[in-house]
């Protein structure tokens, strides 16, 4: 007598198989049923959480537009991008908004008192509404962090410390962190666009220390500018290809530029074989 294992949701199938007739064999590539737990897991949605500055943030006006605004459309419907990037923030002011003082300690770091996280990070840490196992956290800072003055100033050691803090919080929840080096502004050396940002070494160091994949968006962005031949330019960001890509400055993106940067990030997910790439359209 043939025996069948019972799965939740398959009781009807089991009963039909013990009736006195010969059932047609199930197709080898089409199983009789899928356990309810497995079906639920396959239908679960994934969230991609973004933490960064204005080059990633959702727009308040027509320009600037952060690349994170254009990221959601690149994914299949079972992925939701939650863009918590905020303009003007360093990693420290993003985490500790209003608690970063205007004075520095003996080590040259801005004093943080009290060391209470801003609500944006607390919401992401919330067990009910925040990051969950299977989600991703993409972190991109390093533009405002180089400010010499508090509250935005962050030193190298402190920068790596805060990346490690965010990494641990993500991993403790079963979330996969991904670091991005800061996207480059447009600066030309003759006919060539060159890099403009710091905190590159720190980001890679923190990635190695924490076992976190790093997307070198800094290099990928100025490589894109060269592909598009945005150099040389006369500094007028209101016209031509450079005007279509950037706002009336050298740093922030028009919607068209933001879309292209988002596309560069998506391509990096595929090129570096980061599992999140499996959710791209």
CATH, residue 121: 3.40.50.1110
| Domain annotation covers residue 1 | no
Return d(Cα 117, Cα 125) in angstroms, integer.
10
Note the pLDDT of residue 22: 37
| Domain annotation covers residue 76 | yes
Note the pLDDT of residue 107: 96
Cβ neighbours of residue 117 closer than 8 Å, sequence gap 6 or more: 95, 96, 125
Note the pLDDT of residue 53: 98
| Domain annotation covers residue 114 | yes
pLDDT 10s digits, 113-131: 999 999 999 999 999 999 9
| Domain annotation covers residue 119 | yes
- Specify the pTM: 0.84
Decide: helix, strand or coil at residue 65. coil
| Domain annotation covers residue 16 | no
| Domain annotation covers residue 197 | yes
Q: What residues in the chain have per-residue pLDDT under 50?
A: 1-43
| Domain annotation covers residue 64 | yes
The number of folded domains in the chain is 1
Compute how many other C-beta atoms are within 10 angstroms of the C-beta atom of residue 56.
Answer: 31
Q: Domain limits at 82?
A: 45-279
Note the pLDDT of residue 44: 64
Angle between helices 156-172 and 200-210 (to 10 degrees): 40
| Domain annotation covers residue 28 | no
């Amino acid at each position: 007598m043939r025996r069948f294992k019972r799965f939740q949701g398959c009781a009807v199938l089991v009963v039909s198989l013990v009736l006195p007739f010969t059932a047609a064999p199930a197709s080898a590539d089409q199983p009789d049923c899928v356990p309810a737990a497995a079906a639920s897991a396959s239908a679960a949605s994934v969230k991609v959480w973004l933490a960064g500055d204005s080059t990633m943030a959702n727009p308040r006006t027509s320009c600037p537009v952060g690349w994170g605004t254009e990221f959601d459309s690149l994914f299949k419907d079972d992925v939701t991008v939650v863009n918590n990037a905020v303009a003007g923030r360093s990693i420290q002011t993003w985490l500790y908004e209003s608690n970063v003082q205007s004075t520095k300690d003996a080590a040259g770091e801005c004093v943080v008192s009290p060391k209470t996280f801003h609500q944006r990070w607390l919401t992401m840490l919330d067990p009910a509404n925040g990051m969950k196992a299977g989600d991703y956290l993409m972190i991109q800072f390093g533009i405002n962090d180089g400010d010499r003055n508090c509250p935005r100033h962050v030193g190298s050691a402190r920068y790596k410390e805060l990346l490690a803090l965010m990494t641990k919080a993500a991993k403790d929840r079963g979330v996969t962190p991904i670091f991005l080096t800061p996207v480059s502004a447009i600066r030309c050396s003759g006919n060539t666009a060159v890099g403009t940002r710091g905190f590159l070494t720190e980001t890679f160091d923190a990635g190695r220390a924490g076992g976190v994949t790093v997307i070198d968006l800094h290099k990928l962005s100025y490589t894109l500018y060269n592909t598009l031949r945005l150099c040389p330019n006369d500094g007028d960001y209101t016209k031509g290809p450079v005007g279509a890509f950037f706002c009336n400055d050298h740093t922030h993106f028009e919607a068209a530029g933001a879309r292209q940067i988002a596309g560069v990030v998506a391509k990096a997910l595929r090129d570096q074989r980061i599992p999140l790439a499996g959710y791209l359209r």
